[in-house]
Structures are given as C-alpha cells and as structure tokens.
Chains A and B, each alone.
Chain A
Amino acid sequence: MTALIEAPIAAAERPTRPRDVFLPTGSRSTSRLAKLRKRLSWPLGIYTTPLAILVLWEILAETKILKPTYAPAPTSIAHTAVDLWNRGVLGPDLAVSLRRAAIGLALGLSVGVVIGVIGGLLRTGEYLFNGVVQIFNTIPLLAVLPVMIVWFGIDETPKILVIAFGAFVPMYLNLFAAIRGVDQRLIEMARTTGAGTWRLVTRVLVPGALPGFLVGLRFSLAYSILGLVAAETINADKGLGFMITQGETYLQTNQVYVGLVIYSILGLLADQIVRILERVLLRWRPSYEAS
C-alpha cells in the first residue's frame, strides 16, 4: 500500500532528472535538405582523401613548386602512360609481368593449398611440412632472390619461383592454422551424426577453414606482387620492373611513376578479388560486409 502513496511524489520529481528519448531514425525524420547535405558531404566515401591528394599534387606540379623530375603532375603521368602504350612499350611489358604473376601465383597457391590441407588434416602432414615452412617463413622474400639467380640464372624461372615462394608460405601457414582452428565441438558433433570422413572434410573442415584461407589468399597476393617487383627490378630485360629501372636510368621520372601506378592498380585489383570472394563464400557470416 505504501507504494501507492509514494507513487505521485515520484512522478512529481521525475522532470528534474535528465532523460533520454529515442525516436526512429528513418528517412521520415530527416528533411530532404538534410539528406542532400548528407550525400554531398562525403560523395566519394573512402576515395575522398586519395582524390584530394591527387588534386593538390596536380596544383603543386602545375605551379612548379614540385619539380617534374621529382614528381610529375598526375596528368603528365597519364599522358606518358598513353604515350608508352601507343609506342608499344607498356602493353608488352605489362603482359610479361602479368604472365609472371599468374604463373607464379598459380604455382605457389596450388602447392600451398595442397600441402596446407594435408598438413592441416593429418598429423603426419604436420610433421612433414610444418617445420620446413616455419623456417621458410623466417627468410625474407627478397633474400631468396640471389639464391634463385645463382640456381636458375636470369631468365623467367627465378622470377616465377620468387613469386611462387611469396604466395606459397602465407597460404600454407594460414590454411594450416585455419583447418586446425575449426571448432572441435563441431567436429565432435559431425561424428555423432554418423557423417563419414569425406563429409567431415567437405562440410565441416573445408568450409570452416574458408575465412582463414581467404586471409592467406590476401597475404599471398600481396607477397607475390612484392616478389614480382623485386624480381623484375633487380634483373630483367622486359616487364614493368624493367620499365621502371629504365626510366630511373634515363631520368624519365614519368615512366617510373607509370610503373608505380600500375603496381598499385594491380594491388587494388587483387584486394577487390578477395573481397568479392569473401562476399560470395562467406555469405553465412552476418559480419561479412564489415571485413
């Protein structure tokens, strides 16, 4: 009964305390003007800063504050790219580099996936491969190149092998860890349903290891591009790296920048491919959009 008597007093005191009010935040509450302003404030999303830098760069180059030998204007780089393409220099060089990257990646990824799956699934596989790859992992990629040149000379083989090496090590390590990291409780559950080893591998271990595989793929792509650059820059007579070294030798800064831009586009493309793969393969993860 006391509660009934006290209730009006509590109600009277209520307005003095700070309170939060939550209302729907849909399109209904925002005016058309506010929506327009929201769209205009970040029209380019994450590309706002890169574009701003480009514009600033262009202005600094046009006003001769930046010397063309240090950093030529973006438009000038674009002109050089078109010019190089028209002279038949850029096309073949790009093709050679892409071919090297593709073969190296294919080789490194297939070996990495096969050995990673064997190492992840079988104890024997772990003992056979894990130690070796852990040691490989401690060797910097660029330090492998001289050995490759001593072994295989300066033709395509050492370049492809360096790219393959760069792709193989992170793929193996991530795939191995991912397969071993699949939730033991799920494996236990699968065994109680009477699913055989094949089912266990195809429905539990492989899909469970997919997120780790994609992490490995991302690293593999990044390292293989690093390997590509290193192999082409140190010893090559064609390819993007050769084009860059040539530009450096003859003080053609534009040509160097064209090479850098293409490398960065390749890197962005590789990243986009992995993102698309994530979106398709990890649909079951509610957070897939955030990664």
Chain B
Amino acid sequence: MTTAVQANATVEKVIRRFGERVVLDQLDLAIGHEELVVLLGPSGCGKSTLLRLLAGLDRPDGGRVEVPTKRAVVFQADRLLPWQRVVRNVSLGLRGPDATTKARHTLAEVGLAGRENAWPKQLSGGEAQRVALARALVSEPELVLLDEPFAALDAITRLRMHDLVRNLRRNHHAAMLLVTHDVDEAIALADRIVVMSAGRIGSSHDVTLSAADRESSIAREHLRAALLADLGLAVNH
C-alpha cells in the first residue's frame, strides 16, 4: 500500500452507517499522486458513499478522511445548470478576470470548442458529460472524483469518453478516483483497481498493461476473470 506521506488522499478506518446498516466498515484506502484508482463494486455496495465522503459532501461516523482542498467531482448525471450557457457552467467555481478564457480553453480540451454559448438542454448526453468533465478540470484540482460518470452514456460514446480521459491525464496531473460497476471500463482506464466487498476494500490489482494490451490480451482476460471472481461472479467452466 502507498504510504500516507506520499498519498494524495487517504481514508483510514472509515465507518459510515445509515440507521442499522453499516455501509462502510473500517475501510482503508490511499490514492497516490497522479494515480487513477478505479473503485469497482456492484450497485449499493457503498462506492458512492465513499466517494461522497472524499468529496466532503458527507461526514464519516468514525475514522478519518484526508483529501486535498483543491478537488472536483464529476457526477453520474451531468448536473449542469440549465439556465446558464455552457461556458458559464464551466466557469462556475472560478474567480478572476481570466475565468472565461480558462473555461473556453478547457472546453476546447474536451472537444467542445464552438459550443461555448449553447444551452445545456441543446447538448447530447455525451456532450453534457464532457462539459461536466471540463467543469471539474478547469480549476486544476489535485483530486478528481468521478461517480459512475459514463454509466448513462451509450457504449460508443463511453469508449470515446475513455479516450478523452486518457488524453486529459497527459495535461492534467491530478489523482483520480473513478467509481464504476463496469469491469471493462475499469480495465480500460485504471492504474489500480480496487474491489469493494462487505464495506471494505476486498482486493487490489495494479494494472500495468499497455494501451493495446488493455484492449485485448491474455493478461487482460486473466485480470478480467480475477475481477469477476472478486465480485462473486466467477464462472465455472
């Protein structure tokens, strides 16, 4: 495990209960600098709860969460303000005279140059989620939390978004935690995949495959099988 000194974000023995139900039970997790950790787990296992704790949108019932102040969240729904044009949505959290310039620049980065003055309602689902990505990245955060950001997109758009995330990581040196229930998405993007089970991190897999090997290789299939086994979906041949 990464040591606490190096880590960008640390979660130590965190407990979160909702009534009688213990969702997070003494959970430990550390995310290194510029590391993309994918948190994998079935629906309702507490992935989003953990992400909300890291985002500061919720407080733990026990334990400790330490995250950089400069952090951003991409939610499952785009959560764009329908009454603000795209560029104003991106510059929402920015201050200073160059806010609009920065917002335009980041919009260009996510491939939406020329759509700055569109209303959110005029965008497609993929475009709207790109704006949400731009809004998160525009403030140069040290930690980006992504809560199933591509789950609502169609398969083709999702693959395009994976490419986009890989490209963005070259220019934006932020640590990322991506929550998903999609094993293929996890393999496509992760530096490390952690699988949640029973309110804790059940297993951790470092992914060192090349981009091509992530697409198709024997190592990929082994990793996929291991992840499915961790999720309790092992197929008996």
The answer to whether A185 touches B57, judged by C-beta atoms less than 8 angstroms apart, is: no
Report A-chain residues with C-beta under 8 Å of the C-beta of B79. Answer: 185-186, 188-189
The answer to whether A284 touches B93, judged by C-beta atoms less than 8 angstroms apart, is: no
Any B CB within 8 A of the CB of A194: yes
- Contact residues of A between 254 and 286, Cβ < 8 Å to B: 282-286
Give the bracket for the number of chain A residues in contact with chain B: 20 to 34
Total cross-chain contacts (CB, 8 A): 56
The answer to whether B75 touches A185, judged by C-beta atoms less than 8 angstroms apart, is: yes
A243 to B82, CA, bound (A): 49
A185 to B57, CA, bound (A): 11
- Contact residues of A between 173 and 228, Cβ < 8 Å to B: 185-186, 188-195, 199, 203-204, 207-208, 210
Any A CB within 8 A of the CB of B73: yes
A258 to B81, CA, bound (A): 48
Known A188-B57, A193-B93, A194-B139: A284·B82 in contact at CB below 8 Å? yes
A189 to B131, CA, bound (A): 13
Closest Cβ neighbor of A191 among chain B residues = B57
Give the bracket for the number of chain B residues in contact with chain A: 20 to 34
**Whole-angstrom distance from the CB of A279 to the nearest CB of chain B?**
14
Closest Cβ neighbor of A185 among chain B residues = B79
- Contact residues of B between 65 and 117, Cβ < 8 Å to A: 70-73, 75, 77, 79, 81-84, 88, 92-93
Q: Which of A190, A192, A207 contacts B72 (CB 8 A)?
A: A192
Report B-chain residues with C-beta under 8 Å of the C-beta of A192. Answer: 55-57, 71-73
Known A188-B57, A192-B57: A210·B83 in contact at CB below 8 Å? yes
The answer to whether B84 touches A189, judged by C-beta atoms less than 8 angstroms apart, is: no
Known A195-B92, A195-B93, A203-B92: A285·B82 in contact at CB below 8 Å? yes
The answer to whether B139 touches A193, judged by C-beta atoms less than 8 angstroms apart, is: yes
A286 to B83, CA, bound (A): 11
Any A CB within 8 A of the CB of B169: no
Residue among B70, B79, B139 facing the most chain A CB atoms (10 A cut-off): B79
Known A192-B57, A192-B73, A193-B92: A207·B84 in contact at CB below 8 Å? yes
Q: Which of A188, A190, A208, A282 contacts B92 (CB 8 A)?
A: A190
For the complex of A and B, 9 pairs with smallest distance between CB atoms: A193-B93, A194-B93, A189-B79, A207-B83, A192-B73, A284-B83, A195-B93, A284-B119, A193-B92
Taking beta carbons and an 8 Å cutoff, which residues of B are in contact with A?
55-57, 70-73, 75, 77, 79, 81-84, 88, 92-93, 119-121, 135-136, 139
Apart from A188-B79, A193-B136, A210-B83, list 6 A-B contacts with CB within 8 A: A185-B75, A186-B81, A189-B79, A192-B55, A193-B139, A283-B119
